[in-house]
Amino acid sequence: MVTVAGAGAFGTALAIALARESGKITLFGRNQAGIEHMRAKRSNPHYLPDCRFPEDLAISNDPGVLAEAATVLLVVPTQHLRAFVLQHRKQLDGKTCVLCCKGIEKDSGLLPSSVAGEILADCKIAVLTGPGFAAEIARGLPTALTLAAKTDGAALQALLSTQTLRLYLSDDVIGAQLGGALKNVIAIACGITLGAGLGESARAAVMTRGYAEMLRLATEMGANATTLSGLSGLGDLALTSTSAQSRNFSFGFALGKGSGIADGPTIEGIATARATLTLAKRRGVDMPLTGIVTAVLEQTLTIRQAVDALLSRPLKPE
C-alpha cells in the first residue's frame, strides 16, 4: 500500500497519477476540514480544482494510514520536514520513505535525506525529484522524473511509474537532491532578470552560469556530475527558469518588476538561497549568482545594485 503524505498541489497530483493506474492509494493531510472538503468534492478545490479524484484514491487525516503503508511519499516542504517526521516518527519508522521536497534545511544546511535519516534510523530513504508541474501530472500529461535510491530502487521504480509518469532510476541521492534544491535559487535569478527588463539573452546567460554554480557545489559535496546534467538538475532548471507556472521564477519576476517580498505560497528558493550560500562559503565554492540572489532577498542589495554587481564582475575564461 502507498500513502502520499501532504495534500498540497504536488502531493495531490502524485496521488491522482498513482491511483489512476496503480490501485488503492491514500492521500494523507493534517487539515481535517480540508480533508473532509476534498472527500466530499472528490477533488482538491484549493490547489487542483479541475482534476477529479480517481475512485481508488482514498482521502484521510488519520495518521494510522502512515503506519498501514509499506511506502510513504513525503510531500512536505523542506523547512517543515523535520517537524513532520518527528511528529509521525512511530508511524514512519521501518517504512520506505520517498522524499518529494526540494531544498536545503536553512538552520542545519542538511538535505532532506539527512534530515529524515537523523530521525528515522530504520527507514529506507529514496528521493523523487525532477521537472514536473503538479497540474500537468494530475491531468495525465507525460512527465519524466528522477527516482534516486541506494537500495531496492528497481522495485520502487516499478511501483511508482505509470504510463504518463516515467521515472528514471539513479543511485546518486545527493546529486538528485542538490539539483532540485539549487535550481530554485537560479530560477529566482532568472525571474529577476526578465522582470527587470534585461531580456531573454540575459536569462540564457544567467541559466548557464547558474548551472555552472550548481555543478561546482554539487560535485564538491560528492555528487556525480552526470546527475546534474539529467532530469533532476539541468531538466528541472530549464523548466523552473522558463515558465510562469514556476513559483520561484514568478516570485523572482515580481521582484525584478519592483514588488516587495511578501508572504504567499511556499517559495523553497528563498530559504535555500541562504543555506546554499552558507554551504558554498564553508566549502570554498564560488557562487556569485547565489550570493546576489541572497543579498536581494535579505534586502541588502537593490535590484539595480544586483544588476550592476553582475555586469561589473571581472572578465574570465568560461
Q: Which residues are catalytic?
A: 183
The alpha-helical segments, DSSP class H, found in the chain are 9-22, 32-41, 64-68, 78-87, 89-92, 112-119, 134-138, 153-160, 173-195, 200-220, 225-228, 236-240, 247-257, 268-283, 288-297, 303-311
User: What 3-state class would DSSP assign to 198?
Assistant: coil
**35 grid coordinates:** 480533508
Chain centre distance of CA 126: 14
Sheet holding 96-99, edge to edge: 57-60, 25-28, 2-5, 71-74, 96-99, 124-129, 143-149, 165-170
Cell of 128: 523523487
Task: Give the 3-state secondary structure of residue 8.
Answer: coil
Q: At what angle do helices 303-311 and 288-297 cross, to 10 degrees?
A: 170
Distance CA 107, CA 44 (A): 32
**Is residue 60 classed as helix, strand or coil in its secondary structure?**
strand
β-strands 124-129, 143-149 pairing: antiparallel
| Triad 267, 189, 309: Cα angle to 5° | 135
